[in-house]
Structure 1
Amino acid sequence: MSVTREPGLRVPAWVHDVVASVLIVAFNAAVVAFRPGEISPAWVVATSAPAALMFVRRRYPRTVLAAVIVFSVVATLLPPSGAGTIVAPAFALFSTASVVPRWRGWMLTAGCAVVLAVAVSVGQDVSFGAALAQSGLVCGIAMALADAARTRRAYTDELRLRALRAEQTREAEAARAVAEDRLRIARDLHDSVAHRISVMSLSAGVASSTLESNPQAAQEALSTIRSASRAVLTDIGALLGSLREQTVVGLASLDELVGDFATAGLEVDVRVDGDVAALPAPVDVLAYRVVQEGLTNAMKHGDGDARLGITVTPEQVRVKVRNRVGRAARTHTSVGASYGLLGMRERVEEAGGVLEAGRVGDEHALSVRVPLAAQVRA
């Protein structure tokens, strides 16, 4: 997983450490140049040690700050008394204030300013007020720069986090879209192909059982299989085409659908109330799939007949399919548990509708209500 990087060149941390050390040494060298002969070995150690500590100030910021303050106080009290000793505390304070809460950073700033001011006022002929103004100004600038650096770092981290979340969201949306496409393909396979396969299976059973006793019926069953197989190939071609371009079916093809089932031996009594042509396209497709599923189950589990009712009102469309339960299915109690009804129930509920399926005496009833304002997924 890639994360958006901050634009621009990024200077390595060690470069900053080198710059800080060079500046500290440069200020100390300036003191040596202006006051020759007054330098003690202890002063050299006290002013050189902070320069070396700059390379570990990020790893141990608080420890380095405390040590640098101590060295600076010692250097201020020793000859040549102090010019330039404020530089090392400023760098150490910057590193510490960048990683502690803002209020604590300002407290450290005030404390460092007071301690350094006391040391300067004692080690030099300077009033405490003037020394405090000087140390306060330098420490305040260090704290302000540290606060700006922390704000910029927080802003950069937030941008990176947002970029990471955006990428995770895109990946989640892509995964969800793939899952929806898989579910849609599974539904379309069932809706457009499964009922044809059912016709072929039932016709094959008729042909095998009547091949010797009734050759004419077997011949008709084989003809039905041939017709259904051609229809299956057509449906599969349409399904493959829908993967590239959406293919729309609807109740305008109701007569053709009922004719297919009639050819397979299912007598369907159809009653339509209302204008099916006025249905919104998504609802029209869903209603067609409900009829297809209901008649398929009626052919598979019924006694060869079914009653289909479609009612269109200004608010909703209602589809009812009823059929007598055949002998082979009378021992089953969960006719609605098939994958077809499961997928159909999901589609109807996504559209805000209601699907009811179950046994009513010796009949199986499927009833679906879908609001016309439904937003149905393809």
Structure 2
Amino acid sequence: MSFRIRDLRIWLGGHPQVPDGIVAALLVVLTLVDLAQDTAFPGHTYTPHDAAGYTVTVLVIAVLTVRQRFPMSVLAVVLCGEVFLAVGNYQTSGDVFAFLIAVYTVAAHLPLARSALAGLVSLAVLVTLMIGSDDGFFSLIADLGLFAGVWWLGRSLRLRRSYLAELEDRAARLEKARFADARTARVEERSRIARELHDVVAHHVSVMTVQAGAARRIMERDPASAREAVETIEQVGRTTLSEMRRIVGVLRTERDPAASAAELTPQPGTQDLTGLVEQIRETGLAVQMRVDGEPRDLSTGVDLAVYRLVQEALTNCLKHAGPHARAWVHLKYSDRALTLEVADDGRGASEATCADPGPGHGLVGMRERVALYGGELRIGPRAGGGFEVRARFPLEVK
């Protein structure tokens, strides 16, 4: 039922001539009934309504059907009809209500300048007709007060409609802005996920590739070592899938209630660097790690950024520095900053090493991660050969 009423209101709002026509028809009927009784106020002698009087009275009321579409024209027709009835000394009835409705319509549907002009013209016509009549002073004051009240009611309703329309427009703009912000946030989140996936996949696939190559070379002469390399590939593959499920999980609209506990493990950080270095060593790259200063509690973002930075740099060392290269990871804590260095000696590499991963997301991801936390990043050749990645993250002073 409520939907039908709402649909009816929407339809009537798009066809205002229908309710206005119904009101005009009822007012015509009541006016004709009133005039048929031929009652007059004491002391007044009116001209009996003839065909012209009835025609003008009905026209003045019937024109209200299109009052919202042509408010100025309707008011002009009503004023002309009122002047004709007053000059012909015909008895007034429903035409007075038509005059007030026309004044209200002009005030409620036209801008202030046009409605004020129409109101002044209507007021002048009203005063002229009342001065020429036998009505007393108090009747004149009452009629003028009624006229002013009707006009002010129309203006007030117009201002209220304008205010509500402005609120709806502002709400619509805010809703669009909210959707735009949400869309931007989703795009940024997907970009972050793409960088995360690149870091995870590039590192683990590089490890698996190196292990697979080593297993192939020693399969016949050292089956035990080859089996160990295959087991490492299996372990790294499982770790890769686990991390990918955790990262891509943010794109899911609903969480799987049967998700494994591995998907809910925390993101890696500096405390996991030892395991990362050991994993790289198993591939054949000689890596040394050193930590200077007293380790600090880092924010989750900085902690993850340091881990991913080391992971990306060592992965590129593994891919580009050559089979006999060595690498160093150095973390230095101070009161105001955390300095990270990842370097290699570049043995066996003619062009690119850990700091020069070539076209892709690695270098861009490094710079974005460091810049996100107000840090500084330097990537370039290392004195004595090789390349180095040096990053500095500012820390809060305790």
Does 326-335 or 63-72 show the bigger shift?
A: 326-335
Deviation at 1:8, TM superposition (A): 12
Alignment partner, residue 158 of structure 2: 150
Contact conserved, 1:98 with 1:146, CA < 8 A, in 2? yes
Q: 1:37 to 1:71 in 2, by over 3 A?
A: closer
The one-letter code of the counterpart of 1:202 is V
CA displacement, residues 164-206 of structure 1 (integer Å, 9 cap, x when unaligned): 3344344334434433443343233223332110112233344
SS in 2 for 1:306: strand
TM-superposed deviation, 1:112: 0.8
Alignment-derived partner of residue 261 in structure 2: none
Matched, 1:187 2:195: yes
1:116 maps to 2:120:
no
Distance in 2 separating the partners of 1:115 and 1:373: 80
Q: Is the 8 A contact 2:103 2:119 kept in 1?
A: yes
Q: Counterpart in 2 of 1:351?
A: 373
Contact residue 357 and residue 367 of structure 1 kept, 8 A: yes
> Given the two structures, how large is their TM-score scaled by the length of structure 1?
0.82
Structure 2 gap segments, 5+ residues each = 1-5, 41-45, 250-254, 256-263
1:343/1:246 CA distance change after superposition, 3 Å? farther
CA distance in 2, matches of 1:353, 1:301: 26
**Counterpart in the other structure of 2:286:** 267
Q: Say whether the 8 Å CA contact 2:327–2:345 is kept in structure 1.
A: yes
Cα distance in 1 for partners of 2:169, 2:189 equals: 30
Q: Contact 1:348/1:370 (CA < 8 Å) preserved in 2? A: yes
Deviates more, 1:182-191 or 1:42-51: 182-191
Q: Distance in 1 between matches of 2:197 and 2:131?
A: 90
Q: Letter of the 2:162 partner, please give it.
A: A
Query: SS where residue 241 of structure 2 aligns?
Result: helix
Counterpart code for 1:15: P
Q: CA deviation at 1:276?
A: 2.7
What letter matches 2:319 in structure 1?
Answer: K
Structure 1 counterpart of 2:364, from 319, 322, 342 = 342
1:301 matches 2:325: no
1:257 aligns to 2:276 (yes or no): yes
Aligned residue-pair number: 363
- Over 3 Å counting, the alpha-carbon distance change for 1:331 and 1:173 in structure 2 is closer
**Structure 2 residue 265 is matched with structure 1 residue 224:** no
* 2:173 corresponding residue in structure 1: 165
Deviations 1:304-347 (A, max 9, x none): 21122212223222211122346555179964643122223222
Q: After TM superposition, list the pairs within 5 Å mapping 1:1-378 onto structure 2.
A: 10=9, 12=12, 13=16, 14-23=18-27, 26-27=30-31, 29-32=33-36, 33-35=38-40, 38-82=48-92, 84-122=94-132, 124-126=133-135, 133-208=141-216, 210=217, 215-216=221-222, 220=225, 223-241=228-246, 243=249, 245=264, 247-303=266-322, 304-325=325-346, 330=351, 335=357, 337-360=359-382, 362-372=385-395
For the 8 Å contact 1:24–1:87, the answer to whether it is kept is: no
Counterpart CA distance in 1 for 2:345 and 2:24 is 92
CA spacing shift, 1:186–1:226, aligned 2, 3 Å: farther
State the TM-score, normalizing by the size of structure 2. Answer: 0.78
CA contact (8 A) 2:331 2:338 kept: yes
Is contact 1:90–1:142 with CA below 8 Å preserved after alignment?
Answer: yes
The alpha-carbon deviation at position 103 of structure 1 amounts to: 4.4
> Which amino acid is 1:19 matched to?
V
Letter aligned with residue 190 of structure 2: R
* CA RMSD of superposed structures (Å): 3.4
What's the offset of the Cα at 1:355?
2.6
Amino acid aligned to 1:307 = W
CA contact (8 A) 1:197 1:228 kept: no
- Please tell me whether the aligned partners of residues 203 and 222 of structure 1 are also in contact (alpha carbons under 8 angstroms): no
Does the residue aligned with 2:90 lie in a helix, a strand or coil? coil
1-structure distance, mates of 2:8, 2:374: 54
Contact 2:47 2:88 in 1 (8 A): no
What is residue 3 of structure 1 aligned with on the other side?
A: none
Matches of 1:142 and 1:157 in 2, distance apart? Answer: 23
Query: For 2:265 and 2:39, how far apart are their aligned partners in 1?
Result: 87
Do 2:342 and 2:388's aligned partners in 1 also have CA atoms closer than 8 Å? Answer: yes
Deviations 1:31-61 (A, max 9, x none): 5531486113222222111222112111122
Could you tell me how far apart the structure 2 residues matched to 1:249 and 1:263 are? 20
Give the distance between the partners of 2:388 and 2:123, measured in 1 at CA: 88
Displacement, 1:21? Answer: 4.7
Aligned residues with identical type, % of pairs: 29
Shift of 1:126: 4.0
Partner of 1:4: none
2:340 partner SS:
strand
1:359–1:48: structure 2 CA closer, same or farther, 3 Å change rule?
A: farther
**CA gap 1:8/1:343 in 2 versus in 1, 3 angstroms:** same
Deviations 1:141-168 (A, max 9, x none): 2222212221332233234334433443
Q: Which amino acid aligns with 2:391?
A: V
Q: Is the 8 A contact 1:118 1:131 kept in 2?
A: no
Structure 1, unmatched stretches of 5+, are 1-6
SS in 2 for 1:125: coil
